[in-house]
A and B are shown apart, each in its own frame.
Chain A
Amino acid sequence: MSINGKAYIAGVYEHPTRKADDKSLPQLHAESALGALEDAGLTKADVDGYFCAGDAPGLGGLSMADYMGLKLRYIDTTETGGSSYVIHVGHAAQAIAAGKCDVALITLAGRPRAEGMATGTAPRNYGAGPPDVPFESPYGPTVVNQYAMAAMRHMHEFGTTSEQLAWIKVAASQHAQWNEHALLRDVVTVEDVVSSPMIADPLHRLDCCVITDGGGAIVVVKPEIAKRLKRPRVKVLGAGEAVKHQQGGKIDLTYTGARWSGPIAFAEANVTPGDIKYVSIYDSFTITVLITLEDLGFAPKGQGGKFVSDGNLISGVGKLPFNTDGGGLCNNHPANRGGLTKVVEAVRQLRGEAHPKVQVKSCDLALAHGTGGSLATRHGSATLIMGRE
């Protein structure tokens, strides 16, 4: 069963906070939820499906359903890190298409800044249970040194340079200057990026995303409801998901799960990369964007460095405008999970509601891609294609 045309994104919300010392985690979820429902022109009472991931406090979605007072007939707590929320949109469309719910609410929130979390340079603690932990935790894998290994291998195999990676940050900063909520609004140059401190070779400080508190929410509805709402209609056209892991030791860091999730989404939407007007690409690090663009078919494998150079990702300048809110590199990476805000900015573009300085002309087809976990070990990939009706 295809989900093409079976569901619409009716409401989105990105919490404006970037440091939430005075708010609780469930409060951030609820404020985001209510913001997205208001954006859609719906109320909490309309929600009958709820989607959340590991950032939601409590057992699965139970505590948040209780806290927000939701009456549910569908729940999905698929957890693939930062890609979860992109997967949730696809799953919501499936549930709606199957008649299992009519109004699906997806929430994300987190407070890594307020809690003083060493997000990138300290190993994550998943306990003793995961089977990989005995063979990885002694070696100090952190988020940044794992992604750095993918970057190192890409440079080795294809000649990708730090200057090429820097262009991705430059483009994000060009966009972020117009976003009043962005954490980093200063425009940076290639030289600024490559001369910033080395964090984990070959990734510099400015190759890394921001750490922010905040959250966001998405409301997905069935077509009959979308048609009676007053907002511009954004149709879900295709969704693909995949998990890439170490493959029993046959490790290849030169590609991501986007190589598999992308073709599924493109086939369902019945479009090709050349048709896409705007992309939101998960940007935990500059290298994440570069490899993902190759895997989605926007550039041949190994040519991503050349593709992103010379402003090609800058709206109004290059051929493929990306992350026009400033993305995770400059704007926001709430809860260290950037998938939800990728969908939000894509919806803004399709509605014509992005900042006028970065709004893509005639933006009728957009793609959002999420990457969750680690490029070097295990990650979820989710590709979502949306169209303006």
Chain B
Amino acid sequence: MSPARTIPAPPVNAEIKPFFDAAAAGKLLYKRCAACGEAHYYPRANCPFCGSDRTEWKDASGQGTIYAWSVLRRVPAPYAIAYVTLAEGPTMMTNIVDCDLDRIRIGQKVKVVFKPTDGGPPVPMFTPAN
């Protein structure tokens, strides 16, 4: 276990408020475009693939796989940044938490957890699924 790191609050605006409202309720959302069918992350009002505004919020299962990671060592509270590929397709930036930082591996199965931020809504992070 690493010592706690203060997690900066995400600056929330109208376009992305549903994401952070859901996070506060313990749900991870992503977006899928009703026009082209592509899922994307981070969520936008307009689809980054086809440009349509018919993007819809979808519930993610919270299951994912570590695509890449790194532990920043030269700070008072080392932490693991990572890209996790969601079961639904898109890959998202996150932290791997509540685990031994020396045992993180690419390909590892992880599940979402929500962590409080410094004065803002909680944000999704991931922890080993087993």
A residues sitting closer than 8 Å to B (CB atoms) are 121, 123, 128, 131-142, 144-146, 148-153, 156, 197-203, 246-251, 253, 376-377
* B residues near A139, Cβ cutoff 8 Å: 81, 93-95, 123, 125
**Distance, CA A140 to CA B79, complexed state (A):** 8
Asked whether B91 lies within 8 Å of A249 as measured between CB atoms, the reply is: yes
Asked whether A152 lies within 8 Å of B70 as measured between CB atoms, the reply is: yes
* A residues near B16, Cβ cutoff 8 Å: 134
User: A135-B92, A248-B48 given as contacts; is B72 within 8 A of A145 (CB)?
Assistant: yes
* B residues near A141, Cβ cutoff 8 Å: 81, 93
CB distance from A284 to the nearest CB of B (A): 15
CB distance from A376 to the nearest CB of B (A): 8
* A residues near B8, Cβ cutoff 8 Å: 123, 137-138, 140
Asked whether A149 lies within 8 Å of B42 as measured between CB atoms, the reply is: no
Asked whether A140 lies within 8 Å of B72 as measured between CB atoms, the reply is: yes
* B residues near A203, Cβ cutoff 8 Å: 70
26 A/B residue pairs, CB under 8 Å, sorted by A:
A132-B42, A134-B42, A136-B93, A138-B7, A138-B8, A138-B9, A138-B95, A138-B117, A138-B123, A139-B125, A142-B72, A144-B72, A149-B70, A153-B67, A156-B106, A197-B74, A200-B70, A201-B69, A201-B71, A203-B70, A248-B38, A248-B40, A248-B49, A249-B30, A249-B91, A376-B68
Tell yes or no: B111 within 8 A of A by CB.
no
**Distance, CA A197 to CA B67, complexed state (A):** 25
* B residues near A156, Cβ cutoff 8 Å: 68, 106-107
Asked whether A248 lies within 8 Å of B72 as measured between CB atoms, the reply is: no
* B residues near A250, Cβ cutoff 8 Å: 90-91
**Distance, CA A37 to CA B93, complexed state (A):** 45
* B residues near A197, Cβ cutoff 8 Å: 73-74
* A residues near B30, Cβ cutoff 8 Å: 249
Contact with A along B25-46 (1 / 0, CB 8 A): 0000010000000111110100
**Interface residue ranges of B78-115 to A (CB < 8 Å):** 79, 81-83, 85, 89-95, 106-107
* A residues near B47, Cβ cutoff 8 Å: 248
**Distance, CA A249 to CA B47, complexed state (A):** 12
| A144 and chain B: residue at smallest CB distance | B72
* B residues near A138, Cβ cutoff 8 Å: 7-10, 95, 117, 123
* A residues near B94, Cβ cutoff 8 Å: 139
**Distance, CA A151 to CA B71, complexed state (A):** 12
Name which of B7, B30, B47 has the most chain A CB atoms within 10 A of its CB: B7
| A148 and chain B: residue at smallest CB distance | B70
Asked whether B40 lies within 8 Å of A137 as measured between CB atoms, the reply is: no
* A residues near B85, Cβ cutoff 8 Å: 251
Q: In the complex, given contacts A135-B92, A152-B106, what are 19 additional A-B residue pairs having Cβ atoms less than 8 angstroms apart?
A: A131-B42, A132-B42, A137-B8, A137-B10, A138-B9, A138-B95, A139-B81, A139-B123, A149-B68, A153-B106, A197-B74, A200-B73, A200-B74, A201-B69, A201-B73, A251-B91, A253-B67, A253-B83, A376-B68
Asked whether B83 lies within 8 Å of A134 as measured between CB atoms, the reply is: no
CB distance from A156 to the nearest CB of B (A): 5
* B residues near A123, Cβ cutoff 8 Å: 8
User: A134-B12, A140-B72 given as contacts; is B81 within 8 A of A149 (CB)?
Assistant: yes
Tell yes or no: B5 within 8 A of A by CB.
yes
Name which of A133, A134, A148, A377 has the most chain B CB atoms within 10 A of its CB: A134
Asked whether A199 lies within 8 Å of B90 as measured between CB atoms, the reply is: no
**Distance, CA A121 to CA B77, complexed state (A):** 12
**Distance, CA A202 to CA B70, complexed state (A):** 7
Tell yes or no: B4 within 8 A of A by CB.
no
* B residues near A152, Cβ cutoff 8 Å: 68-70, 106
| B71 and chain A: residue at smallest CB distance | A201
| B42 and chain A: residue at smallest CB distance | A135
Asked whether B73 lies within 8 Å of A131 as measured between CB atoms, the reply is: no
